[in-house]
Structure 1
Protein backbone atom coordinates (compact mmCIF):
# COMPACT_ATOMS: atom_id res chain seq x y z
CA UNK A 1 0.00 0.00 0.00
CA UNK A 2 1.31 3.46 -0.84
CA UNK A 3 0.21 6.35 1.35
CA UNK A 4 1.12 9.87 0.27
CA UNK A 5 4.11 8.55 -1.69
CA UNK A 6 5.42 6.32 1.11
CA UNK A 7 5.24 2.55 0.75
CA UNK A 8 3.68 0.73 3.66
CA UNK A 9 3.85 -2.97 4.39
CA UNK A 10 0.57 -4.48 5.54
CA UNK A 11 0.12 -7.70 7.50
CA UNK A 12 -2.83 -9.30 9.21
CA UNK A 13 -2.49 -9.95 12.94
CA UNK A 14 -4.83 -12.84 13.77
CA UNK A 15 -4.42 -12.38 17.53
CA UNK A 16 -6.10 -8.97 17.48
CA UNK A 17 -8.03 -9.57 14.24
CA UNK A 18 -6.72 -6.37 12.66
CA UNK A 19 -4.46 -5.31 9.83
CA UNK A 20 -1.15 -3.75 10.86
CA UNK A 21 0.81 -1.36 8.68
CA UNK A 22 4.29 0.10 8.89
CA UNK A 23 6.57 2.26 6.75
CA UNK A 24 9.86 0.32 6.59
CA UNK A 25 11.81 3.04 4.74
CA UNK A 26 11.24 5.60 7.51
CA UNK A 27 13.56 6.11 10.47
CA UNK A 28 10.82 5.51 13.00
CA UNK A 29 7.15 5.80 13.60
CA UNK A 30 4.63 3.51 15.15
CA UNK A 31 2.58 0.80 13.59
CA UNK A 32 -0.94 1.67 12.53
CA UNK A 33 -3.92 -0.65 12.83
CA UNK A 34 -7.42 -1.04 11.40
CA UNK A 35 -10.00 -3.73 10.75
CA UNK A 36 -10.54 -2.85 7.08
CA UNK A 37 -8.61 -1.30 4.19
CA UNK A 38 -10.39 2.06 4.32
CA UNK A 39 -9.58 2.42 8.02
CA UNK A 40 -6.02 1.27 7.42
CA UNK A 41 -5.54 4.00 4.84
CA UNK A 42 -7.01 6.61 7.21
CA UNK A 43 -4.87 5.46 10.17
CA UNK A 44 -1.78 5.25 7.97
CA UNK A 45 -2.29 8.83 6.79
CA UNK A 46 -2.67 10.05 10.38
CA UNK A 47 0.39 8.12 11.57
CA UNK A 48 2.50 9.32 8.64
CA UNK A 49 1.43 12.94 9.08
CA UNK A 50 2.27 12.92 12.80
CA UNK A 51 5.65 11.29 12.14
CA UNK A 52 6.62 13.70 9.34
CA UNK A 53 5.56 16.71 11.43
CA UNK A 54 7.66 15.47 14.37
CA UNK A 55 10.67 15.00 12.06
CA UNK A 56 10.23 18.51 10.64
CA UNK A 57 9.95 20.00 14.16
CA UNK A 58 13.11 18.16 15.28
CA UNK A 59 15.05 18.75 12.04
CA UNK A 60 15.39 15.00 11.47
CA UNK A 61 15.45 13.29 8.08
CA UNK A 62 12.41 10.98 8.00
CA UNK A 63 13.77 8.48 5.46
CA UNK A 64 16.38 5.86 6.26
CA UNK A 65 19.64 6.10 4.33
CA UNK A 66 20.33 3.08 2.14
CA UNK A 67 23.90 2.66 0.90
CA UNK A 68 23.04 0.14 -1.80
CA UNK A 69 25.23 -2.51 -0.17
CA UNK A 70 24.34 -5.39 2.08
CA UNK A 71 25.84 -8.75 2.97
CA UNK A 72 23.97 -11.88 2.00
CA UNK A 73 24.90 -15.15 3.68
CA UNK A 74 23.99 -18.41 1.93
CA UNK A 75 24.74 -22.04 2.52
CA UNK A 76 27.48 -23.28 0.15
CA UNK A 77 25.09 -25.34 -1.99
CA UNK A 78 22.80 -22.36 -2.66
CA UNK A 79 25.83 -20.15 -3.35
CA UNK A 80 27.06 -22.64 -5.95
CA UNK A 81 23.60 -23.03 -7.51
CA UNK A 82 23.20 -19.24 -7.75
CA UNK A 83 26.64 -18.91 -9.37
CA UNK A 84 25.70 -21.55 -11.96
CA UNK A 85 22.31 -19.88 -12.60
CA UNK A 86 24.00 -16.50 -13.06
CA UNK A 87 26.52 -17.93 -15.52
CA UNK A 88 23.71 -19.64 -17.44
CA UNK A 89 22.13 -16.19 -17.88
CA UNK A 90 25.45 -14.62 -18.89
CA UNK A 91 25.55 -12.48 -15.76
CA UNK A 92 27.79 -11.99 -12.78
CA UNK A 93 26.43 -13.35 -9.53
CA UNK A 94 25.96 -9.80 -8.29
CA UNK A 95 23.97 -8.68 -11.35
CA UNK A 96 21.89 -11.86 -11.31
CA UNK A 97 21.06 -11.31 -7.61
CA UNK A 98 20.24 -7.61 -8.21
CA UNK A 99 17.88 -8.57 -11.04
CA UNK A 100 16.21 -11.28 -8.93
CA UNK A 101 15.75 -8.96 -5.96
CA UNK A 102 14.49 -6.12 -8.16
CA UNK A 103 11.92 -8.40 -9.78
CA UNK A 104 10.77 -9.83 -6.43
CA UNK A 105 10.60 -6.39 -4.77
CA UNK A 106 8.44 -4.85 -7.49
CA UNK A 107 5.65 -7.39 -7.23
Structure 2
Protein backbone atom coordinates (compact mmCIF):
# COMPACT_ATOMS: atom_id res chain seq x y z
CA UNK A 1 0.00 0.00 0.00
CA UNK A 2 1.38 3.45 -0.86
CA UNK A 3 0.22 6.98 -0.10
CA UNK A 4 2.17 10.22 -0.54
CA UNK A 5 5.31 8.13 -1.01
CA UNK A 6 4.91 6.27 2.28
CA UNK A 7 4.64 2.48 2.11
CA UNK A 8 2.50 0.51 4.53
CA UNK A 9 2.82 -3.15 5.44
CA UNK A 10 -0.24 -4.94 6.84
CA UNK A 11 -0.59 -8.14 8.86
CA UNK A 12 -3.60 -9.98 10.22
CA UNK A 13 -3.88 -10.38 13.99
CA UNK A 14 -6.08 -13.46 13.85
CA UNK A 15 -6.58 -13.64 17.62
CA UNK A 16 -7.69 -10.02 17.93
CA UNK A 17 -9.68 -10.15 14.69
CA UNK A 18 -8.23 -7.11 12.95
CA UNK A 19 -5.47 -6.02 10.61
CA UNK A 20 -2.64 -3.87 11.85
CA UNK A 21 -0.05 -2.09 9.82
CA UNK A 22 2.97 0.12 9.95
CA UNK A 23 4.78 2.47 7.61
CA UNK A 24 8.03 0.77 6.63
CA UNK A 25 9.92 3.58 4.92
CA UNK A 26 10.03 6.21 7.68
CA UNK A 27 12.08 6.26 10.86
CA UNK A 28 9.21 7.72 12.87
CA UNK A 29 6.67 5.14 14.02
CA UNK A 30 3.43 5.41 12.04
CA UNK A 31 0.86 2.67 12.65
CA UNK A 32 -2.73 1.97 11.66
CA UNK A 33 -5.35 -0.75 11.99
CA UNK A 34 -8.76 -1.81 10.72
CA UNK A 35 -11.17 -4.70 10.49
CA UNK A 36 -11.45 -4.78 6.69
CA UNK A 37 -9.34 -3.96 3.66
CA UNK A 38 -11.22 -0.68 3.19
CA UNK A 39 -10.75 0.21 6.88
CA UNK A 40 -7.02 -0.45 6.65
CA UNK A 41 -6.63 1.64 3.48
CA UNK A 42 -8.58 4.53 4.99
CA UNK A 43 -6.71 4.37 8.31
CA UNK A 44 -3.35 4.13 6.53
CA UNK A 45 -4.05 7.35 4.62
CA UNK A 46 -5.45 9.02 7.74
CA UNK A 47 -2.36 8.06 9.77
CA UNK A 48 -0.06 9.61 7.16
CA UNK A 49 -2.15 12.80 7.08
CA UNK A 50 -2.21 13.01 10.91
CA UNK A 51 1.56 12.45 11.00
CA UNK A 52 2.22 15.20 8.45
CA UNK A 53 -0.17 17.59 10.24
CA UNK A 54 1.48 16.84 13.59
CA UNK A 55 4.95 17.51 12.17
CA UNK A 56 3.76 20.80 10.67
CA UNK A 57 2.18 21.87 13.97
CA UNK A 58 5.39 21.03 15.84
CA UNK A 59 7.59 22.79 13.29
CA UNK A 60 9.33 19.45 12.69
CA UNK A 61 10.41 18.24 9.28
CA UNK A 62 8.66 14.89 8.68
CA UNK A 63 10.64 11.83 7.74
CA UNK A 64 10.49 11.79 3.98
CA UNK A 65 10.15 8.40 2.37
CA UNK A 66 13.10 7.32 0.31
CA UNK A 67 15.29 10.03 1.80
CA UNK A 68 18.42 8.13 0.82
CA UNK A 69 19.24 6.86 4.31
CA UNK A 70 19.27 3.20 5.22
CA UNK A 71 20.10 1.76 8.63
CA UNK A 72 21.16 -1.87 8.81
CA UNK A 73 21.97 -4.10 11.76
CA UNK A 74 24.69 -6.50 10.68
CA UNK A 75 27.15 -8.75 12.45
CA UNK A 76 30.49 -7.07 13.20
CA UNK A 77 32.29 -9.83 11.31
CA UNK A 78 30.27 -9.09 8.18
CA UNK A 79 30.99 -5.38 8.49
CA UNK A 80 34.71 -6.10 8.78
CA UNK A 81 34.59 -8.34 5.69
CA UNK A 82 32.72 -5.62 3.78
CA UNK A 83 35.28 -2.97 4.76
CA UNK A 84 38.10 -5.24 3.60
CA UNK A 85 36.35 -5.92 0.27
CA UNK A 86 35.73 -2.20 -0.28
CA UNK A 87 39.36 -1.43 0.53
CA UNK A 88 40.56 -4.04 -1.98
CA UNK A 89 38.47 -2.30 -4.64
CA UNK A 90 39.70 1.13 -3.47
CA UNK A 91 36.15 2.27 -2.70
CA UNK A 92 34.44 3.72 0.31
CA UNK A 93 32.17 1.30 2.14
CA UNK A 94 29.13 3.31 1.01
CA UNK A 95 30.21 3.15 -2.65
CA UNK A 96 30.93 -0.58 -2.40
CA UNK A 97 27.53 -1.31 -0.85
CA UNK A 98 25.75 0.93 -3.38
CA UNK A 99 27.40 -0.96 -6.27
CA UNK A 100 26.06 -4.24 -4.93
CA UNK A 101 22.58 -2.89 -4.29
CA UNK A 102 22.33 -1.44 -7.80
CA UNK A 103 23.50 -4.75 -9.28
CA UNK A 104 21.02 -6.62 -7.10
CA UNK A 105 18.04 -4.69 -8.47
CA UNK A 106 19.25 -4.96 -12.06
CA UNK A 107 20.56 -1.42 -12.52
CA UNK A 108 19.97 2.02 -11.15
CA UNK A 109 16.20 2.61 -10.85
CA UNK A 110 14.78 5.61 -12.67
TM-score range, shorter chain: 0.5 to 0.7
Which position in structure 1 is the counterpart of 2:59?
Answer: 59
CA gap of 1:71–1:18, structure 2 versus 1, over 3 A, is closer
Partner residue in 2 for 1:50: 50
Q: Normalization by structure 1: what TM-score?
A: 0.58
Secondary structure at 2:39 match in 1 = helix
Measure the CA separation in 2 of the matches of 1:62 and 1:45: 15
Could you tell me which residue of structure 1 aligns to residue 28 of structure 2?
A: 27
Q: Which residue of 1 aligns with 2:12?
A: 12
| Root mean square deviation of aligned Cα | 3.9
How many residues are treated as equivalent by the alignment? 97
Q: Runs in 1 of length 4+ with deviation above 3 angstroms?
A: 64-76, 94-104
Which secondary structure state, in structure 2, belongs to the residue aligned with residue 55 of structure 1?
A: helix
Q: Aligned partners of 2:43, 2:70: CA distance in 1, in Å?
A: 33
Structure 1 unmatched runs, 5+: 83-91
Alignment gaps of 5+ in structure 2 = 83-90, 106-110
- Taking structure 1 as reference, are residues 27 and 72 closer, same or farther at Cα in structure 2, changes over 3 Å only? closer
Please give the alpha-carbon distance, in whole angstroms, between the structure 2 residues aligned to 1:47 and 1:70. Answer: 23
